[in-house]
Amino acid sequence: MLIKPGDAGPAVEMVQSRLRELGYFRGAESGFGPDTAAAVRRFQRAQDLDPDGVVGPRTRARLLPLVRFTPEYLDRVLYGGRQVYDALDDVVAAVAAGEWGAFDALLLNGDGEGLSFGVLQWAQGPGSLQTLLQALNGANGAKFVDIFGDGDPGTAQNLLAKTRGRGKNLALWLDPWPLRFWLAGRDLEFQRVQRSLARRQLAALLREGLALYPEGFQPGGRIALRALVMMADVGNQAGPLGLKRALRAAAARGLTDEARFIEALGDYVEDLIRRKYGDPNFGNTAGRHAAICSKYSLERADWPVLEARLAAEAKESRLPA
């Protein structure tokens, strides 16, 4: 995915704006002309990069780093100073951290599942990317056409049609698609859609998990934040059925200590992954759930309150509750 001399459009404007902000660009070119190329080369030299005047992956990562799902970004930028970040966002952030964790993150068929994109790495192969695309289109159809169709409604609708189910009928990991998805990932309105969809999808997993979570560990509907994070992460890796199996396996051990019960969920899934994929692939997961237990506390989150917030958000959006 290159942004290069001769290009025009939002990506070039984004590069120029960032270069201007950093003091490398003072021109007013309407596209990627010689002044922009010279500014890119100045930036590259300052960063010890090859000064070729092209914004490739390494230059882009330095100039326009990934937009992470963090409390600071959500509260300050995405919602203009409103204090929106809550325990469910903690859950999203934790799961996202294991999935590249950024609104504009792209995996270009590296796992054979087509293009994966966004905070939860919604993937083309399994069909989850279709759900996100539908949500983006529903939120702002005109913008969807502008970004994904480059202004052509037919191209945008073709994208929606050919990512249904487990379809990989479009090679979305090849140009021009990565640049279009990257632009969508940096759009504030579409970032809010990503947050809402991630919250709803992980909440759906948690509803299934809470039905099997020992009642003795849920006083008054309050549950350990660590438990919410662990269940969401396990469900995201192993699916709803895998989460249910992990909960049943942990319950079968008769554990009366909640901290140990939560650890048992992660142990079950990591052992499953080790046996299914072997040590080379297990290296990407090993220790992840132990890290969750060390990072997230046993402080209680109020699940009914979080459910109420989700319902209120659903009324303000076009996404299903």
Same domain, 204 and 168: no
Same domain, 204 and 281: yes
284 pLDDT band, cuts 50/70/90, is low
Same domain, 206 and 304: yes
Inside any domain, residue 293: yes
Inside any domain, residue 90: no
Inside any domain, residue 3: no
pLDDT given at position 321:
47
Name residues whose C-beta falls within 8 Å of residue 208's C-beta, 6 or more positions apart in sequence.
235, 240, 243, 244
Mean pLDDT (whole number) for 160-176:
82
* Helix, strand, coil share (%) of the chain residues, nearest 5: 60, 5, 35
Inside any domain, residue 46: yes
Query: How many other CB atoms are there within 10 angstroms of residue 200's CB atom?
Result: 18
Asked if pLDDT for residue 280 goes beyond 60, the answer is no
CATH code for the domain in which residue 33 is found: 1.10.101.10
User: In this structure, what are the phi and psi dihedrals at residue 87, rounded to the nearest 5 degrees?
Assistant: -65, -35
Same domain, 202 and 300: yes
Same domain, 162 and 226: no
Same domain, 161 and 240: no
pLDDT in tens, 130-144: 999 999 999 999 999
Among 132, 160, 185, the domain boundary falls at 185
Same domain, 207 and 312: yes
Q: What percent of the chain has pLDDT over 70?
A: 95
Q: Which domain holds residue 34?
A: 10-63
Query: Would you call 268 exposed, middle or buried from its count of C-beta atoms within 10 A (0-12, 13-18, 19+)?
Result: buried
Same domain, 204 and 304: yes
Among 185, 211, 241, the domain boundary falls at 185
Mean pLDDT (whole number) for 178-193:
96
pLDDT given at position 39:
95
Asked if pLDDT for residue 127 goes beyond 80, the answer is yes
Question: Quick check: helix, strand or coil at residue 289?
Answer: helix
Structural domain count, the chain = 3
Q: Both tokens of residue 288? A: 């992840």
Inside any domain, residue 202: yes
Inside any domain, residue 191: no
Inside any domain, residue 69: no
- Cα 269 to Cα 267: distance, rounded to the nearest angstrom: 6
Helix (H) / strand (E) element for 88: namely: helix 87-97
Q: Quick check: 130 and 160 in contact, CB under 8 A?
A: yes
Name residues whose C-beta falls within 8 Å of residue 126's C-beta, 6 or more positions apart in sequence.
113, 166
Q: Residue 219: is the preceding peptide bond cis (ω within 30°)?
A: no
- Which of the 8 DSSP states describes residue 93? H
pLDDT in tens, 79-119: 999 999 999 999 999 999 877 779 999 999 887 889 999 99
Inside any domain, residue 269: yes
Which residue did the predictor score with more confidence, 27 or 195?
195
The average confidence (pLDDT) of the chain is 91
Mean pLDDT (whole number) for 270-288:
73
Q: Quick check: 63 and 24 in contact, CB under 8 A?
A: no
Mean pLDDT (whole number) for 37-49:
95
Asked if pLDDT for residue 277 goes beyond 90, the answer is no
Mean pLDDT (whole number) for 147-155:
96
Same domain, 228 and 152: no
Asked if pLDDT for residue 287 goes beyond 90, the answer is no
Among 185, 216, 251, the domain boundary falls at 185
pLDDT in tens, 247-270: 999 999 999 999 999 999 999 988
User: What is the value of pTM for the model shown?
Assistant: 0.90
From its phi and psi, is residue 150 left (phi > 0), alpha (psi between -120 and 50) or beta?
left
Which residue did the predictor score with more confidence, 247 or 286?
247
